[in-house]
Each structure stands twice: as structure tokens, then as C-alpha cells.
């Protein structure tokens, strides 16, 4: 069954792309009613690809359980209608271009002044009151600006994290902040102004490399599938072509690894091998020793030894490997044009995943929302176009 935890909570969202829709999709998963306001051509993320029925993989993933309303934010009648809807809302979310919501008359401060219980969420690229505040921001740009790309990839050059990690991090932070604000409102009766940026979301995650650089004077190296602070911690090929990623976290694990996996307990006490710091400094020789043993054995034997030694390891899977992984949980969701098997949300409740509601077609709910929320003077308003 769908969750009813946030039943009765109304969310109105002027949203597009990933960050805001991610936030509101999680609210919808918890039972909130989410009204997604779209242009007449739809959220442009609807059309990134055609991998999920008639919508994109992105759109299918983060727009389940919502209602779609087509409106024109520059049309006076549509704006009046939207204002009447927001007046009844608990949460207002927007990730329009910098300053656009204020220019359109939907600035968060103005809305909260009129509706003190309203929780407003402004999602931006770089936050407020700095020289970047008015700049356009997309995921890869923020990966570069935060230094994330500089510490990601292989030694040859910076790399992109393979998913829209800045957008997702921002959406996660916004979702958590909304839940916190709802609890605060229960105590005080007052709404909250929430601001979350893509930049701040990833900058927070960059605390460890930044503190390391400022404390040691050294930038963490790009090591591909290796760890800058631990060794051996990386990917090694077996004789039958399987790539296994191993992780040694402490000296006890290292000693067991040498004795059982490498077959020589004395290696653990050799100069350059006898401490974590020594192994990191001697990474080339340490990795060569591990690679030599792995390369002489078939994967089944390496896995047997790793399990016996209690060494943490994982297979370097492709997407086919993910699709058949024994730990993967999936759930079916209806989308315009069919249905898709989404990967289930990470959290379970009493051992069960909440059922997910369908992804809306563009404007599918416009008519009934007008009937429900229209005031007498705009009852006969025609559908608009959000620009």
C-alpha cells in the first residue's frame, strides 16, 4: 500500500529537471499530495530520452505519485488560480531561474507573509548573496566548481561522477529540511523559509578532501578504483577476467589478507608493507604484489580466500550485473505509455517498501484541479501555458 504518513499535506511545486522533483517525489512517496506545475510543453526532463514509456528515465524515476497541472506563470488568470492553490498549501517548492519566482509574484518571503504556516523551499545553483547567485547551474558544472571533478576519475584527468549527484544531493537535503520544518510547525504553528543549493550540497560532502588538503598541503590523488588514504584498496583482475574490488581498513584485516589470500603471512611485516601509511606511500609495490597473486588464480578461488580471510570485496559490475544483483529490490510504476520497473527506494518500513503511485501525463490533472481550487471569478478559466 502507498504510505499515508504525510496524508493531508499539500505540496505545490514550480519544478523542473531533477533537484526539486527529487525532493517532492519523496514527499509524494510518504503520502503527501504533490501538484506539479508545468509549462504547456512540460518539464523539459520529460524529454531527456524515451527510455520509460512515453517519458524519460529521469522523469519516470522522480515524478511518481504527483498531479500534473499545466499553467502559465505570466498569465494573470493562471497566476490568480495558482495563488489560491498556494493559499491552501502546506509546502511550496520552486527551482525556477534565479529571481524568477520573485518577479512573477511568487517570492517566498511574500508568500510566507501572506500565509504564515506555509513552508517555502527555494532550490538554486549557488545560493544567495554571492557573485555566482545569478549564474545558471547544471549538475556537471557544479561538479566542476566544487572540486568534485578534480578528485574524481583516473590520474590522466578529472572525471564526472556518472549520475547527477549534485541534483540528487540537493533534492535529498531539501526533502530532509521539509520534514524538519513540518515538525517545527507542529510545535510553533509557523512556516519556515528553506533555501538549498546544488553547490552547498556537494561542498558539504567535500569536507574531507578539503580538510585533508588544508591539513597536509596535499590534494587527494585521482586513483580511479582506488582509495587515496588506504592501500590495498582497489580493483584487481583474476586469471579468468573477473575484476574484484578489495578493501583493507586496518592491520588486523591486512594480516589475515596476507596469510590467507596472498598465502604469505610474512608480507604483513615487510618494510613498506607493515603499516597503513607505509602501504599508501608504497602503493605501487603493494598493488603489484596483490595483482600478481590475483592474476594467478581463478575468481572462484580468490573469492573463497577473501571470504575465509574476512576481507571486504565487491565485483565491479556493469549495469547488467546491477539488474541481476541479489540485493537489488525493484517495484513496478505506471508511466504514460506503459509501466517500468524502478529500483525501489532505499528505505523500508517494518520490512516493506511503500507502494509507489503512477507518473502523471502532462496536464492530466489540470481540469479537476481547476474545478477543485478555482474561486468564483476564475471558475471558467481556460488552461494556460507556463513560460
- What would the mean pLDDT of 282-306 be, rounded to a whole number? 97
Rg, C-alpha atoms of the chain: 26
The full DSSP string for 224-247 is: SSB-SS-SSEEEEE-TTS-EEEEE
What is the model's pLDDT at position 382?
38
Mean pLDDT of 60-84: 96
Average pLDDT over residues 81-107: 95
355: Cβ–Cβ under 8 A, 6 or more apart, which residues? 1, 2, 331
pLDDT score for 353: 86
| pTM assigned to the model | 0.89
* Cell numbers that stand for 109 in this block: 518571503
> What's the confidence (pLDDT) of residue 223?
85
> What's the pLDDT at 91?
98
Reported as a pLDDT band with limits 50, 70 and 90, residue 229 is confident
Most distant CA pair in the chain, distance: 86
Q: How far apart are CA 95 and CA 125, in angstroms?
A: 9
- Where b means 16+ CB within 10 Å and e means fewer, 148-159 reads bbbbbeeeeeeb
Residue 380 banded pLDDT, cuts 50, 70, 90: very low
- Is residue 327's pLDDT more than 80? yes
End-to-end Cα spacing for the chain: 37
Mean pLDDT of 339-350: 92
Please report the pLDDT score of residue 330 as a whole number. 95
Give residue 378's pLDDT band: very low, low, confident or very high (50, 70, 90): very low
Q: Which residue has the higher pLDDT, 171 or 221?
A: 171
Q: Looking at residue 3, what is its pLDDT?
A: 84
| 231-270 exposure pattern, b = at least 16 Cβ within 10 A, e = fewer | bbbbbbebeeebebbbebeeeebbbbbbbbbbeeeebbee
Long-range contacts of 250-259 (CB under 8 A, 24+ apart): 250/276, 251/275, 251/276, 253/309, 253/310, 253/311, 253/312, 254/279, 256/309, 256/310, 256/311, 257/232, 257/309, 257/311, 259/309
**What is the helix (H) or strand (E) element at residue 280, kind and residue range?**
helix 276-281
Query: Under a CB-based contact definition with an 8 Å cutoff, are residues 232 and 290 in contact?
Result: yes
Measured over the CA atoms of residue 298, residue 299, residue 304 and residue 306, the dihedral's sign is positive
Average of per-residue pLDDT values in the chain: 93
Query: Taking residues 85-95, what's their average pLDDT?
Result: 97
Residue-level pLDDT at 354: 85
Kindly state the average pLDDT of the residues 234-252: 96
Q: Convert the pLDDT of each residue in 145-175 to its tens digit.
A: 999 999 999 999 999 999 999 999 999 999 9
Q: Report pLDDT digits (tens) over 24-68.
A: 999 999 999 999 999 999 999 999 999 999 999 999 999 999 999
Confidence of residue 319 (pLDDT cuts 50, 70, 90): very high
Q: What's the CA dihedral at 366, 370, 372, 376 to 10 degrees?
A: 180
pLDDT of residue 375: 59
Residues 6+ positions from 29 with CB-CB distance below 8 Å: 2, 3, 64, 65, 345, 354, 356
Q: Which domains does the chain have, with CATH numbers?
A: 10-206+346-378 (3.40.50.10540), 233-315 (3.30.1540.10)
Using CA atoms, how far apart are residues 373 and 31, in angstroms rounded to an integer? 20
Paired residues of 124 in beta bridges = 197
Over residues 82-103, the mean pLDDT reads: 95
Beta bridge partners of 384: none
Do 260 and 305 touch, CB atoms closer than 8 A? yes
**Residues 109-113: what's their mean pLDDT?**
96
- pLDDT at 381 exceeding the cut of 70: no
pLDDT for 307: 97
pLDDT tens figures, 122-136:
999 999 999 999 998
DSSP 125: S
C-alpha 325 chain-centroid distance = 21
Please give the grid coordinates belonging to residue 374: 478555482
How, if at all, do strands 193-197 and 119-124 pair?
A: parallel
Amino acid at each position: 500500500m502507498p504510505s499515508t504518513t504525510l496524508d493531508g499535506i499539500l505540496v505545490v511545486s514550480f519544478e523542473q529537471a531533477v533537484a526539486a522533483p527529487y525532493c517532492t517525489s519523496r514527499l509524494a512517496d510518504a503520502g503527501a499530495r504533490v501538484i506539479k506545475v508545468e509549462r504547456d510543453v512540460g518539464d523539459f526532463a520529460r524529454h531527456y530520452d524515451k527510455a520509460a514509456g512515453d517519458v524519460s528515465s529521469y522523469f519516470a524515476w522522480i515524478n511518481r505519485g504527483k498531479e500534473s497541472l499545466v499553467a502559465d506563470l505570466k498569465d494573470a488568470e493562471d497566476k490568480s488560480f495558482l495563488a489560491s492553490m498556494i493559499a491552501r498549501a502546506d509546502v511550496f517548492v520552486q527551482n525556477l531561474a534565479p529571481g524568477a519566482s520573485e518577479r512573477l509574484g511568487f517570492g517566498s518571503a511574500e508568500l510566507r507573509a501572506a500565509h504564515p504556516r506555509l513552508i517555502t523551499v527555494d532550490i538554486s545553483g549557488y545560493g544567495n548573496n554571492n557573485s555566482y547567485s545569478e549564474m545558471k547551474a547544471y549538475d556537471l558544472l557544479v561538479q566542476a566548481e566544487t572540486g568534485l571533478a578534480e578528485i574524481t576519475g583516473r590520474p590522466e584527468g578529472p572525471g564526472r561522477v556518472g549520475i547527477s549527484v549534485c541534483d540528487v544531493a540537493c533534492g535529498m537535503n531539501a526533502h530532509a529540511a521539509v520534514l524538519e520544518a513540518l515538525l517545527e510547525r507542529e510545535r510553533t504553528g509557523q512556516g519556515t523559509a528553506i533555501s538549498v543549493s546544488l553547490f552547498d550540497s556537494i561542498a558539504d560532502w567535500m569536507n574531507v578532501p578539503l580538510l585533508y588538503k588544508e591539513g597536509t598541503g596535499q590534494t587527494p590523488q585521482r586513483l580511479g578504483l582506488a582509495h587515496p588514504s588506504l592501500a590495498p584498496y582497489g580493483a584487481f583482475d583474476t586469471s579468468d577476467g573477473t575484476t574484484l574490488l578489495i578493501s583493507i581498513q586496518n592491520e588486523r584485516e591486512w594480516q589475515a589478507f596476507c596469510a590467507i589470500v596472498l598465502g604469505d603471512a610474512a608480507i604483513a611485516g615487510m618494510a613498506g608493507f607493515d603499516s597503513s601509511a607505509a602501504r599508501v606511500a608504497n602503493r605501487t609495490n603493494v598493488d603489484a604484489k596483490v595483482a600478481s597473486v590475483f592474476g594467478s588464480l581463478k575468481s572462484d578461488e580468490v573469492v573463497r580466500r577473501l571470504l575465509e580471510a574476512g576481507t571486504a570485496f565487491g565485483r565491479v559490475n556493469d549495469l547488467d550485473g546491477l539488474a541481476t544483483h541479489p540485493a537489488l529490490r525493484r517495484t513496478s510504476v505506471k508511466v504514460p505509455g506503459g509501466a517500468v520497473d524502478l529500483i525501489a527506494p532505499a528505505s523500508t518500513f517494518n520490512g516493506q517498501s511503500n507502494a509507489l503511485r503512477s507518473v502523471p501525463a502532462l496536464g492530466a490533472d489540470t481540469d479537476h484541479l481547476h474545478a477543485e481550487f478555482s474561486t468564483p471569478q476564475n471558475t471558467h478559466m481556460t488552461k494556460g501555458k507556463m513560460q
